[in-house]
Chain A
């Protein structure tokens, strides 16, 4: 008889343990399902707090996220939720709690705040918080925030089971909250990239010089949002036209910053009317002094004298452009010197050539000839030359369009690894 009673008691105990376990699992499942269907950081945190308040049967819950950038005010309360109106935590207590958490990085269970030796409350502070349970949000050993719940409805206060449950919830939530936080950061970065792209596009000439004797055209297609290629057409005060193509080493933001710097230096040189080789020498020294030696640029800079139909150029380590004149083999324009940004005070050369009626000048960046298809074959100069030859009769702008089309049909959608830029000048009469 005694044994039977004992067995029944054991069964009841076992049963209630199982029921508690099932309830715990269903709470965790409830939270997991709810937060997996949302992406917004605020909604996720709101759901977590809401579920904690409900399942742990407390008056109030809060999630605070750690702000590592400002250790004077390390936490900001993300969401605070309460199911009855109680006054918010007095500032001094709030600071003590977060301070304790930062120091100990472990769960905190307090069932009678007034008598707890860990926190000092001044006599005049009216604190309506009696019990509290807080656990840190930990991610790879780093504390990212705290989940706190306050005032257990049940008068016996928080139990070890509550602490365990909240710890599991915190462990589950930490990664999800972090993902949502990173997602927001990524959105910010993407937005900044969009702005940078816009700024850079505005640095490129919006229109080309227009005259009866010559046609000018240019186009640049960066591999990333922003790029290191740049071209420019600048009308000089004396009626001559300067144009150039520069290719900064590297890609993305670092290259685009230097591109803006190079563009400004050369525009300045054009404005004061300096000659080709002097402008390039100036840009070389600027780039050398402004960067470390791993940064450099190739640059082709030239000035066209429309009146005399002569073009002076300086090629600083850039792919040699073509000058097509009738059916003759194209001339490659390679005089100038080394890439810029490498050796200070390097002396560049310049050369002057005749520009005859019908001549087409093609300036390109290595992104054109090194465009690759899926078999990692390069577009190469031979294909470029064939494409130019086929389209010489077209306008400068149409030739650019046709070359871009040809490159595209060659790469067949293989990812673009470098910026692609073309500048064309054609003498009409």
Chain B
């Protein structure tokens, strides 16, 4: 997981398979830390995520809910077609704002 901050937004770049396990704990902790620091504009870059199962989806949903409760927002960028398919079946595309690039996602916060 790579983390960078750009123009007041935090970008988390996830890699590999998003299937729960230790990675989900790390993401959860990272988001908690940023929320405590008052950084509540988060972009998750999924360009390098090759696979997402229901636990992986749980990570995104939990992140989304947590930020929403704290007055922030979680947005997605670079969603691959496979993940796009899952978001469309689960209708989560109605919930998650989804951008073609990280830059577009960051700009959307302003």
Q: Please say whether chains A and B are actual partners in one complex.
A: yes
Residues of A within 8 A of B (CB): 249-250, 292-296, 298, 316-320, 336-339, 342-343
Report whether A293 and B89 are in contact in the complex, using a CB–CB cutoff of 8 Å: no
Query: Which chain B positions have C-beta within 8 A of A318?
Result: 89
Residues of B within 8 A of A (CB): 20, 24, 54-55, 57-59, 61-62, 64-66, 89-92, 94-95
Chain B: which residue is nearest A348 at the CB level? B91
Report whether A337 and B58 are in contact in the complex, using a CB–CB cutoff of 8 Å: no
Report whether A249 and B89 are in contact in the complex, using a CB–CB cutoff of 8 Å: no
Q: How many A-B residue pairs have CB under 8 A?
A: 53
Helix, strand, loop or mixed for chain B's interface? Answer: helix
Q: Which of A249, A338, A343 contacts B55 (CB 8 A)?
A: A249
Q: Which of A294, A298, A319 contacts B61 (CB 8 A)?
A: A294
Helix, strand, loop or mixed for chain A's interface? Answer: loop
How far is B62's CA from A337's CA once the two chains are assembled, in angstroms?
Answer: 18
How far is B54's CA from A96's CA once the two chains are assembled, in angstroms?
Answer: 55
Chain B: which residue is nearest A320 at the CB level? B89
Report whether B95 and A338 are in contact in the complex, using a CB–CB cutoff of 8 Å: yes
Query: Which chain B positions have C-beta within 8 A of A292?
Result: 62
Report whether A298 and B90 are in contact in the complex, using a CB–CB cutoff of 8 Å: yes
Query: Which chain A positions have C-beta within 8 A of B92?
Result: 317, 338-339, 342
Report whether A319 and B58 are in contact in the complex, using a CB–CB cutoff of 8 Å: no
Report whether B90 and A338 are in contact in the complex, using a CB–CB cutoff of 8 Å: yes
Report whether B95 and A249 are in contact in the complex, using a CB–CB cutoff of 8 Å: no
Report whether A294 and B59 are in contact in the complex, using a CB–CB cutoff of 8 Å: yes
Q: Given contacts A294-B24, A317-B91, A337-B94, could you give 13 more A-B pairs where the C-beta distance is less than 8 Å?
A: A249-B57, A293-B62, A293-B64, A294-B61, A296-B54, A296-B58, A296-B61, A298-B89, A316-B91, A338-B94, A342-B65, A342-B92, A343-B65
Chain B: which residue is nearest A248 at the CB level? B54
Query: Which chain A positions have C-beta within 8 A of B94?
Result: 337-338
Chain B: which residue is nearest A336 at the CB level? B91
Query: Which chain B positions have C-beta within 8 A of A337?
Result: 91, 94
Nearest chain B CB to A384's CB is how many angstroms away? 14
